[in-house]
A and B are shown apart, each in its own frame.
Chain A
Amino acid sequence: MPKTTALSFTLIITGAPYVSQAPQTALEFARAVIAAGHRIDRVFLYGDAVHLASTLACAPSDEPQWTQIWSEFLETHRVPAIVCIASALRRGVLDEKEQKRYQRPAHNLEPPFEIAGLGEWVEGTVSSDRTLYFHPTD
């Protein structure tokens, strides 16, 4: 049921899938935000969390495929998702543009994730009503 005062959220994930619970906790929180009638302005992946945007990750079939699950959520609710370019390039997460720029043999960015700079993060923290971080536990 929509709230009378809907809020906007920016979610920043810094923990990697499979080695931290951060992408899972962030997704359950994001689903509850939508269910409560609020809006998610954007999701931002920083540090090791950029692995969440790799379309080449293959978890065993009896484990959650976090990249695909997140991708479906973002598509369904039309939530923009930004991958920090400085974090992504170091960890081998590239879109087609960066593949060409660095002359690498492949690109692996799962849509609808986009690679962008820290300006997007600043924009999010300035314009959203709430900003939440999802960190690793170590």
Chain B
Amino acid sequence: MPSLHIVNKAPDHARFQTCLAAVADEDTLLLTENAVLAAVMAQGLPGTVFALSADLEARGLAPADIMANIGRIDFAGFVSLTEATSRIISW
């Protein structure tokens, strides 16, 4: 069963890299809080990737700055992701 990985740590936090290593191809990765900074970095991210729009806006990251393969979602979208799987990991 695919997992939903929720990461709120900044990309330079050790837990962020630990999270990436645990994301399988069929998994979903949700960037929240400080982790949304990864949405503008060149580093490739595993799985299907989303970023929380409120946290992007709070950090001044415009939609144009975000990598094309990352979806922007609101809290309703966050809830939808948790509906899709019961395996949810908060890093």
Contact = CB atoms under 8 A, between A and B. Distances in A.
Classify the interface of chain A: helix, strand, loop or mixed. Answer: mixed
Contacts, number: 49
Interface residues of A, number: 22
**Interface size class, chain B:** 20 to 34
B82 A130 contact: yes
B42 interface: no
A5 to B, nearest CB: 8
Contact of B75 (A9, A31, A134): A31
B78 A130 contact: no
Interface in B1-25: 6, 8-10, 13
A132 B10 contact: no
B75 A21 contact: no
B75 A137 contact: no
Given A21-B33, A25-B33, A135-B90, A7 B83 contact: yes
Interface string A1-36: 001000101000000000001000100110111011
A82 B76 CA distance: 25
A29 B79 contact: yes
A21 B34 CA distance: 9
